[in-house]
């Protein structure tokens, strides 16, 4: 749905209803009864080319997006070591994206095929509500994981108490509660309307308030859920980059590994602090880059729609080119579908978890999370500065071979015996 309003190009609604089903940019203050007594001319359907392209691309993007976001949710919920604060926010984002794809994308397909609103009055209210809820919740989820990354990296001491799994769950519940209440107003702003043409009477889902009323609502929504999150993300990621990419920590894992080997053979130390720090820094950079890409794509893919609506808000005759409107819609759907692809491309852990969920590739047994008291202490020390379990699980998996190969034989047996007794990380779900 959401395009009846978009076609006036002053509303927030996503485009999904035919342009010629709206009253274009007719004065909304005109008397409703007077408008119903006159026809809107001859109604013409979309062209065959438009229908084919629209249905194919929307179906493809929404299908891939729905499957991908469901996989993200299943991977995090069913894989113990993937239940981290950052991944909890990504699950929230995946749920919001699913709402956008199903509530905005799929009705667009029926509109292209049927040419009118087919979901009735209840469908008009419900679909409008869930569209806005998904859009606003996704924006808030992006803001939440941006703030979480900032605290974890720039304020590591505070992160030990703030960036925890339980706190992330509470924040997500608060985000969804507030956005759910906020979006209730759209239940009172939308309604079904009959459009009378010379050759047919069409049913559409549109605003039932005048332009002067919904413009302030739209711009407030635009500011709170698009402008402010992007400004905040720009500032915070700038501060993160200054800490993360200009820090003195070694970035060459091979150099750290060689130093660890020398220290292990000379002094019998379990693991080098510099090697663990290097791995932690590399993990942080990887996760932060991935999340930054999510934010950048959110800004770019929403920009055509947001810009068009703002511009048309000040034009006497709105720009309503059919193909450009389709482009704006596809960008919005693509934004909700592309995040799982980003996770798979930029995160080794997500890629492995996706393959395991699809039963692709070799199935490996989960390795113990710690190998000795000294190793556990070293890893905790390096990752207790707000880094989530997602990061240090990867680090310890990578350290598995060096431990078995280079630990003194006199220490290794006892270390293996103690790993199941003293390690608080053996379950993979410890909190930072």
Encode pLDDT of 391-426 as tens digits. 433 333 333 333 344 444 444 444 444 443 333 333
Query: Which tokens go with 220?
Result: 């407030």
| pLDDT given for residue 39 in this prediction | 63
Q: Rounded to whole angstroms, how far apart are CA atoms 106 and 108? A: 5
Distance between start and end Cα atoms, the chain: 43
305 phi, psi to nearest 5 deg: -65, -50
| pLDDT given for residue 242 in this prediction | 87
Query: Which tokens go with 378?
Result: 């070293």
Contact (Cβ atoms closer than 8 angstroms) between residue 2 and residue 16: yes
Q: For 120, what's the count of Cα atoms within 13 Å in the CB-facing half-sphere?
A: 1
| pLDDT given for residue 232 in this prediction | 95
Name the one residue in this structure whose structure tokens are 């050759």: 199
Which of the residues in the chain have pLDDT under 50? 1-37, 248-260, 262-272, 361, 365-432
Domain residue extents for the chain: 3-242+284-357, 373-422
DSSP string, 153-202: HH-HHHHHHHS-HHHHHHHHHHHHHHHHHHGGGGGTTEEEEEEE-SS-EE
The region that residue 369 occupies, defined by phi over 0 for left and psi between -120 and 50 for alpha, beta otherwise, is: alpha
| pLDDT given for residue 90 in this prediction | 95
| pLDDT given for residue 45 in this prediction | 77
Contact (Cβ atoms closer than 8 angstroms) between residue 58 and residue 109: yes
Q: What is the CATH number of domain 3-242+284-357?
A: 1.20.1070.10
Question: Smallest Cα–Cα separation from 110: which of 184, 204, 180, 244?
Answer: 204
pLDDT digits (tens, 9 = 90+) for 169-195: 999 999 999 999 999 999 988 888 888
pTM of the model: 0.73
């Amino acid at each position: 749905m959401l395009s009846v309003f978009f076609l006036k190009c002053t509303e927030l609604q996503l485009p999904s209803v035919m342009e010629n089903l709206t009253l274009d940019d007719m004065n909304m203050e005109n008397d409703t009864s007077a408008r119903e007594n006159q026809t809107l001319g001859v109604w013409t359907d979309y062209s065959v080319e438009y229908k084919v392209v629209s249905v194919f691309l929307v179906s493809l993007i929404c299908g891939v997006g729905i499957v991908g976001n469901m996989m993200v949710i299943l991977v995090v919920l069913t894989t113990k070591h993937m239940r981290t604060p950052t991944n909890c926010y990504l699950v929230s984002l995946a749920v919001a994206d699913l709402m956008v794809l199903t509530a905005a994308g799929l009705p667009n397909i029926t509109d292209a095929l049927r040419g009118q609103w087919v979901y009735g009055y209840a469908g008009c209210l419900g679909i409008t509500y869930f569209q806005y809820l998904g859009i606003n919740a996704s924006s808030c989820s992006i803001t939440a994981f941006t703030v979480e990354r900032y605290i974890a990296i720039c304020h590591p001491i505070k992160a030990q108490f703030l960036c925890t799994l339980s706190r992330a769950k509470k924040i997500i519940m608060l985000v969804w509660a507030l956005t759910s209440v906020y979006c209730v107003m759209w239940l009172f702003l939308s309604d079904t309307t009959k459009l009378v043409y010379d050759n047919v009477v069409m049913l559409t889902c549109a605003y039932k308030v005048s332009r002067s009323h919904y413009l302030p609502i739209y711009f407030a929504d635009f500011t709170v859920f698009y402008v402010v999150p992007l400004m905040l993300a720009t500032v915070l990621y700038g501060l993160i980059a200054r800490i993360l990419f200009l820090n003195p920590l070694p970035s060459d894992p091979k150099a750290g590994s060689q130093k660890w080997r020398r220290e292990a053979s000379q002094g019998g130390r379990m693991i080098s602090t510099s090697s663990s720090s290097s791995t932690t820094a590399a993990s942080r950079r990887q996760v932060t880059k991935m999340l930054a890409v999510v934010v950048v794509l959110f800004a770019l893919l929403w920009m055509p729609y947001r810009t068009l609506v703002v511009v048309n808000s000040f034009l006497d005759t709105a720009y309503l080119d059919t193909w450009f409107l389709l482009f704006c819609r596809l960008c919005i759907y693509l934004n909700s579908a592309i995040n799982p692809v980003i996770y798979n491309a930029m995160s080794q852990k997500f890629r492995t978890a996706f393959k395991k969920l699809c039963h692709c590739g070799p199935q490996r047994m989960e390795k113990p999370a710690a190998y000795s008291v000294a190793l556990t202490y070293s890893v905790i020390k390096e990752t207790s500065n707000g880094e989530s379990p997602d990061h240090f699980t990867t680090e310890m998996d990578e350290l598995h071979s060096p431990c078995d190969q280079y630990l003194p034989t006199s220490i290794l047996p006892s270390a293996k015996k103690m790993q199941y007794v003293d390690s608080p990380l053996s379950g993979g779900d410890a909190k930072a």
